[in-house]
Structure 1
Amino acid sequence: MSSAETATPAAPDARAERRAKRIAKNLTAFAERHGGGADGVVEYVGAVATRIVVVGADGTWGDQVAPSYAIGRRAAELAGVTLHDDFEGELALKVRTGAYEWKRMAGLQIGG
């Protein structure tokens, strides 16, 4: 019997945890670069993806895509992101946009 035949595949929960930990490393690095903390929200993008939107303590925002809502939520928890129910109110007020975002938004409005 070959070693491939005797090896057991990783349990789905173990695989999901590894994915969550990889994403959490990115979220943690982002938070450290932007003031040492982050708030965020986990949102469904579609049937096969979830978007984690994070806002650093300095108001810089970013996002990370996860393959499922459960993995996205677990990654945010592992990274110490303070999760909100939606991207409104208090969380939205923390976002600081720069010249790039304003230029990009203006371009979308006028068809650019």
Structure 2
Amino acid sequence: MADTKVDSSVEEKPADARAERQAAKLAKEIGAFARAHGGAEAQIAYIGERGSRIVLVGEDGGWGDLVARTDAVARAAVEKSGLTVHEDFDGDFAAKVTTGRYEWSRMAGIQLGGPSNT
């Protein structure tokens, strides 16, 4: 029987290529958000097996988020987009977020018997 070796680098390349494509796609979405909101900043939060959440806060107070499959993909996407990354969603960064009546009614609805999140 012939001795065969599996080149592990061949198996890793598709995953690396997929991660690179996902990071590029996310960077494009991040860039579009930043342009629409006069610039933006980001914070990356690990959310477990589902990956990492990229929270975006625009200069106009608008906010949004994206989810990447891995923390590495999230960090690569934000790096490609050129945004400032905050380690924490601390008071100064959170103060930049503008929330409206809709967000307050949804948040209060859970606590006070108002509209639910469904």
TM-score scaled to structure 2, two decimals?
A: 0.81
* Pair 1:86 & 2:67 matched: no
Aligned to 2:34: 31
Shift of 1:31: 0.7
Query: 2: distance between equivalents of 1:107 and 1:81?
Result: 34
Pick the aligned partner of 1:77 from 59, 76, 79: 79
Q: How many correspondences in the alignment?
A: 104
Query: 2: distance between equivalents of 1:89 and 1:74?
Result: 25
Identity of matched residues, %: 52
Query: 1: distance between equivalents of 2:67 and 2:105?
Result: 24
8 Å Cα contact 1:40/1:91 also seen in 2: no
Alignment of 1:12-51 (within 5 A): 12-35=15-38, 37-51=39-53
Pick the aligned partner of 2:108 from 88, 106, 109: 106
**CA shift digits 1:17-66 (9 cap, x unpaired):** 1110001111110111111x111111011123110001001011100000
Aligned to 2:54: 52
Task: Spell out structure 1 runs of 4+ moving beyond 4 A.
Answer: none
Aligned to 2:3: none
Which structure exhibits the higher relative contact order, with contacts defined as CA atoms closer than 8 Å and separated by 6 or more residues? 1
- Alignment gaps of 5+ in structure 1: 1-7
Alignment of 1:56-67 (within 5 A): 56-67=58-69
